[in-house]
Amino acid sequence: MIRTGIGYDVHRLVSDRKLILGGVEIPHELGLDGHSDADVLCHAIADALLGSAGEPDIGHFFPPGDETIRGISSLEILRHVAGVLRERGAVIHNIDSTLIAERPKILPHVPLMKIRLAGVLGVHISQVGVKATTNERMGFPGRGEGMCAMAVATVDMPPPPPL
């Protein structure tokens, strides 16, 4: 049974934080604020995958108040999500994602992002799409106050048992 999920995440930009996107540290004067490394791209992909399997969102698995996971790499979140899907018998077919930010330029970092994302998800890099766009200087992303990402995941799951 082919199933699709959608994910969205947003984090504020702050000083004194590293900017991690798609599991890659990107040189920038600001980083994303959050309980984990605040990788909006990984978080959107995780929610898309979980949604495709009918699971709760990443906050269910990684509650923001849980101090034992403060600063966790979002690649580890994705690794856990991939495990949840494997346990359900799901096969990931495709991930498509878009990062929305005015700067820094993302394109030079996309190949490494795809390698890292594909590696933790256990798929080929051709099954992971990563794009970036601006918000045309409108809204909080356009003013450089934060970044957001959206993702769609397509998976194949065993059919549910008959009712």
Do residues 48 and 153 make contact, with C-beta atoms less than 8 angstroms apart?
yes
Of the two residues 27 and 139, the one the predictor is more confident about is: 27
Residues 84/50, Cβ–Cβ less than 8 Å: yes
DSSP structure class, residue 75: H
**pLDDT tens by residue, 92-115:** 999 999 999 998 999 999 999 999
Q: Is the pLDDT of residue 65 over 90?
A: no
pTM, 2 dp: 0.95
pLDDT in tens, 27-60: 999 999 998 999 999 999 999 999 999 999 999 9
List the domains of the chain with CATH numbers: 2-156 (3.30.1330.50)
- pLDDT higher at 95 or 142: 95
CB 32 within 8 A of CB 24: no
Q: What is the pLDDT of residue 16?
A: 93
**Predicted confidence (pLDDT) at residue 116 exceeds the cutoff of 90:** yes
Cβ-proximal residues to 122 (8 Å cutoff; 6+ apart), any chain: 82, 86, 92
